Amino acid sequence: MLIDAEWITFLKKFTDAQVLVSLDGVKEINDRVRVDVAQNGTYDRVIEKIKLLIENGISFGVPAVVDSYGLKQVRRFIKELKDIGVKRIGINPPYKFDEEDSEFSTMDALVDGYFETWLEAKRLGIQISGKAYLPEWHAMHGHIANCEGMGRAIVVDPDGHISLCDKIADKLGTVYNLKDVFKTDTYAQFAMRVKGNIKACEDCEINYLCNGGCLAEARNSYHSDNLSGKHCEFIKKMAARMFKEF
């Protein structure tokens, strides 16, 4: 929403800047949840910003949180984005993975829905990844942890406070004592959350791929440092389906 001519000029200076523009589906789906302070839907304005990025040749991706309701419309969403020139879309299942809320009768039917979406996007020539598609996501990013937030990137807020993820409350210091940030126990704990080093996941057949899942998601949804229950079942089944296709 902030992208304007000034931002475009700034972004053009960086060939490796990663711009992510969040949209959660077609207009009627996105505008249920992504609203501005006046409670107006944001879809139309975000699409205008996407067109501005495309016109100026700035590389970007569109991450979307797609729940079982949104999944029924997601192919239309992908086609709409393709038609305006979007090339990369990330599809993420909802934070709290609750089968009771599912529009699909069984977990297998839900997995089918995400899997068919992945195939359709590939047929359309869209690069599609995200947390619903871990094999593709990790093939693209090659993480040894679930994401860069686990010790390989920092988030700086406008006051200079540093955290490792904008969805995890722990503040590790400020830009004025940057060296100390990397000596904290919390930083060490995050940085060591890597493949093969997560006790609760050591017997899981996809732990090398999932790495305990998103820590913010696990903490905020399951009050744990790793995912659990239906969420794990979902990503394991998705991975199995995708590996058969590869």
As a whole number of Å, the end-to-end CA separation of the chain is 37
Residue 213 binding ligand SF4, by CB under 6 A: yes
Please, what is the Cα angle at 244 between 238 and 246, to 5 degrees? 100
For position 206 contacting ligand SF4 by CB under 6 A, the verdict is yes
User: How does 150-176 read in b/e, with b if 16+ C-beta sit within 10 Å?
Assistant: bbeebeeeeeeebbbbeebeebbbeee
Q: How far is the CB of 48 from ligand SF4 (least distance, A)?
A: 38
**Structural tokens at position 71:** 């999944």
Residue 130 structure tokens = 């995200």
- Establish if 164 lies at the interface with ligand SF4 (CB under 6 A): no
Our CB check for ligand SF4 shows the closer of 124 and 206 to be 206
201 scored as a contact of ligand SF4 (CB under 6 A): yes
Smallest separation (angstroms) from ligand SF4 to the CB of 31: 32
Residues in binding contact with ligand SF4, number by CB under 6 A: 12
CA dist 74 and 208 (Å) reads: 29
As given in the structure block, the two tokens for residue 136 are 């593709």
Among the candidate windows 61-69, 75-83, 91-99, 204-212, which touches ligand SF4 by CB under 6 A?
Answer: 204-212
Q: Report the C-alpha gap between 185 and 193 in whole angstroms.
A: 12
Nearer to ligand SF4, 65 or 214 (CB): 214
Nearer to ligand SF4, 85 or 229 (CB): 229
Report the alpha-carbon distance of residue 132 to residue 113 in Å, rounded.
11
Nearer to ligand SF4, 74 or 227 (CB): 227
Given the rule CB under 6 A, which of 16-24, 120-128, 164-172, 210-218 is the region that contacts ligand SF4?
A: 210-218
Work out which of 212, 215, 221, 241 binds ligand SF4, going by CB under 6 A.
Answer: 212
The nearer residue to ligand SF4, 32 or 141, going by C-beta atoms, is 141
Rounded Cα–Cα distance for residues 211 and 143 (Å): 9
Asked whether the beta carbons of 195 and 211 are under 8 A apart, the reply is yes
Mark residues 49-68: x for contact with ligand SF4 by CB under 6 A, - for none. Answer: --------------------
Which backbone phi and psi does 214 adopt, to 5 degrees? -70, 125
Positions in the binding site for ligand SF4 (CB under 6 A): 201, 204, 206-207, 210, 212-213, 226-227, 232, 235-236
